[in-house]
Structure 1
Amino acid sequence: MNTLAVTLRQTLGSQRLLWLLYGITLVLGLLVALPFYNTLKVEDQNSLAFLDLLNGFDYTVYSDFMHRSGRVISPLFSVGRWLGALYIFLSVFVAGGILLRFAQVGERFDVGTFWQGCSKYVGRFLRLFGVTLLSVIVGGGIWLVLGTLMHIALEDTLTERGLFWVGLTFFILFALTATLALCIGDYAKVMLFREDEQRVFRTCRRAGRFVLRNVGKTFGPYWVFILIGAGLFGVYFLIDDAVTMSGWLTILLMFMVQQALVFGRVVLKVWSLGTAYALYEKLHKPQYTVPSVSPTYESVPIPFSNGDIQPPVDGPGSLDKDLKRDE
């Protein structure tokens, strides 16, 4: 927990980095929100039905609107999907800059250096993202398939309560496997950065062994971040239920709450990656090979009684050789 506190202070001390990442996220959100807002403003035709959506989702209003204006809205959904892919790419892209920031403790944040760190590691981080995604799909998908087969096999034997516990068990196994793969991916990212490694598959295997050797100190904090993120969403939904958006003031209030949630997610992303970097630095013990050296008498100056320095002898047997030569 001491490492979490230290990296949290480092994260909160990097205000320029946090606001830069928040600004990128805000711009991407506005690229979707503004076209949607302008389109809805044109297509609603001053209808008051949309006011019902302020108090909660109404499927009737949504279906009527999509039936009448779906042709106009559909391209905007396509734009949203492309921007979602762009957001994933940017989240991978900025990881190198974030790690570089934690490697430069005490130095002033420089935007140019940050972008250089992002561009240097983006290629290998994209390959790592593909490997991690494949691990999540394959590793987690196995439990989903086994759970489905088990549900079908026991459908006529167990009650609904029993089937629920079977499904919950396999879902927990899926969640643990998926999050473990993501955790290994974060430490592989740190290794690729810290050791300037290019071989992604080899680094993933090393990261897997590292995480499993220190599962409590690596996978445990990773779940702490997951629970913190879930807690942030829980607080947001509680506020959303408590605040009735009946005017511009409450709408502005909820907008501020939403932006606070977005900023909190940015802090959480930087904090989790910085913690992985710090824990790797703390737990990784490189194996140094220390050569076995036998003591010799070479280059050992022997002083004369008059203060002069005798030249170094050749070895332990050289003194006997000199005596025989003098005889």
Structure 2
Amino acid sequence: MNTLFVTLRQTLGSPRLLWLLYGITLVLGLLAALPFYNTLKVEDQNSLAFLNLLNGFDYTIYSDFMHRSERAINPLFSVGRWLGGLYIFLSVFVAGGILLRFSQTRPRFDIGMFWQACSQYVGRFLRLFGVSFLFVLAGGGLWLVLGTLIHIALEDKFTERGLFWVGASFFALFALTVTFILCIGDYAKVLMFREDERGALRAFGRAGRLVLRNPGKTYGLYLVMILTGTGLFGMYFLIDEAITMNGWLTILLMLVVQQSLVFARVGLKVWSLGTAYAIYGILPKPVPVVRPMVKQEAVVEPTPIAVSEEEKSQPPVD
């Protein structure tokens, strides 16, 4: 746990990095939010029904609006999907710069070196993202398929409550598998950064063996990060329930709370990757297996036999 506090101090000691990543997230959010806002402003036709959504979600208002303005809204969903892909790419892109920050001893944040590290490692990390994504599909998809098949097989034998617990169990296995693979992916990034490894699949395999040999110090701390993020969302929902948005002051207050949550998520991501960097440095690395050398039998060359001149002149005997 001491490593968590050390890396937390390093994270909080890099405010320029945190504000830079928050600014990128804010810009992407505005690229999606502003078109939605302008479209909703045109399509609502000065209706006051949307004000009721401030007090809670009303499906009737949503369905009526989508029935009338679906053609105008659908293109915005497509833009949102593209921006989601761009956000994933930027998350992979900035990983090299974040790792560089935790490898530096000087307190000042150099934005030029940050972008240089991002560009240098983005190719490797994109290949690693592809490998991790395939493992997520294989590992997580396995539990989803098994859960669906078992749910169908037990549908006539179990009550709704029993089927719920069956589904919850398989979803828990799915979540544990996916988070475990993502944890390995973080340590694979650190391995590629610290050891200049270029093979994504090889780095993922080495990181997987490292995590399996030290599950408490690696995956255990990764779960702590996940629980911390879950706790932040829980606090947000409690605040959202406590504050009734019935005026501009409360709306502004909730906006501040929402952006504080976004900033905290950015810091949590930096903290998690920095923790993986620190933990990798103190864990014993597996000794590479040395293959035994195969002894080759010595080839004995025949010794030439001395032949006299008299024997050379004699004809060969059949």
TM-score range, shorter chain: 0.7 to 0.9
Structure 2: gaps (5+ residues): 290-318
Question: Aligned-pair distance for 1:158?
Answer: 3.2
Distance 1:44 1:154, change over 3 A: closer
Question: Aligned-pair distance for 1:156?
Answer: 2.9
For 1:239 and 1:288, the matched residues in 2 are separated by 52
2:254 aligns with 254
For 1:40 and 1:26, the matched residues in 2 are separated by 20
Q: Is the 8 A contact 2:210 2:286 kept in 1?
A: no
2:244 aligns with 244
Deviations, residues 127-165 of structure 1 (Å, cap 9, x unaligned): 111111111111011111112222222233333333333
Q: Kindly report which structure 2 residues correspond to 1:158-173, keeping only aligned pairs within 5 A, or say none.
A: 158-173=158-173
Moved more, 77-86 or 162-171: 162-171
Q: How many residues align?
A: 289
Q: Which amino acid in structure 1 is aligned with residue 81 of structure 2?
A: R
For 1:171 and 1:105, the matched residues in 2 are separated by 42
Q: Is the 8 A contact 2:210 2:285 kept in 1?
A: no
For 2:53 and 2:171, the matched residues in 1 are separated by 33
Deviations, residues 274-317 of structure 1 (Å, cap 9, x unaligned): 0000000011447599xxxxxxxxxxxxxxxxxxxxxxxxxxxx
Moved more, 121-130 or 45-54: 45-54
Structure 1: gaps (5+ residues): 290-327
Q: Which amino acid in structure 1 is aligned with residue 265 of structure 2?
A: R
Distance 1:162 1:48, change over 3 A: closer
Deviations, residues 258-277 of structure 1 (Å, cap 9, x unaligned): 00000000000000000000
Question: Aligned-pair distance for 1:190?
Answer: 0.4
1:228 aligns with 228
For 2:284 and 2:185, the matched residues in 1 are separated by 16
2:50 aligns with 50
Deviations, residues 5-44 of structure 1 (Å, cap 9, x unaligned): 0000000000000000000000111111111112222222
Deviations, residues 211-262 of structure 1 (Å, cap 9, x unaligned): 0000111000000001011111111111111111111111100100000000
The answer to whether residue 109 in structure 2 is matched with residue 130 in structure 1 is no
For 2:174 and 2:98, the matched residues in 1 are separated by 29
For 1:224 and 1:213, the matched residues in 2 are separated by 18
What percentage of aligned pairs have identical amino acids?
78
1:61 aligns with 61
1:276 aligns with 276
1:295 aligns with none
Q: TM-score, normalised by structure 2?
A: 0.88
Question: What SS does structure 1 have at the residue aligned with 2:106?
Answer: coil
Question: What SS does structure 2 have at the residue aligned with 1:229?
Answer: helix
Deviations, residues 108-132 of structure 1 (Å, cap 9, x unaligned): 1011100000000000101111111
Moved more, 6-15 or 146-155: 146-155
Distance 1:58 1:102, change over 3 A: same
For 1:200 and 1:42, the matched residues in 2 are separated by 48
Higher relative contact order (CA 8 A, sep 6+): 2
For 1:288 and 1:47, the matched residues in 2 are separated by 69
Q: Kindly report which structure 2 residues correspond to 1:1-327, keeping only aligned pairs within 5 A, or say none.
A: 1-285=1-285, 287=287
Q: TM-score, normalised by structure 1?
A: 0.85
Q: Is the 8 A contact 2:229 2:268 kept in 1?
A: yes
For 1:142 and 1:286, the matched residues in 2 are separated by 30
Give the aligned CA root-mean-square deviation in angstroms: 1.5
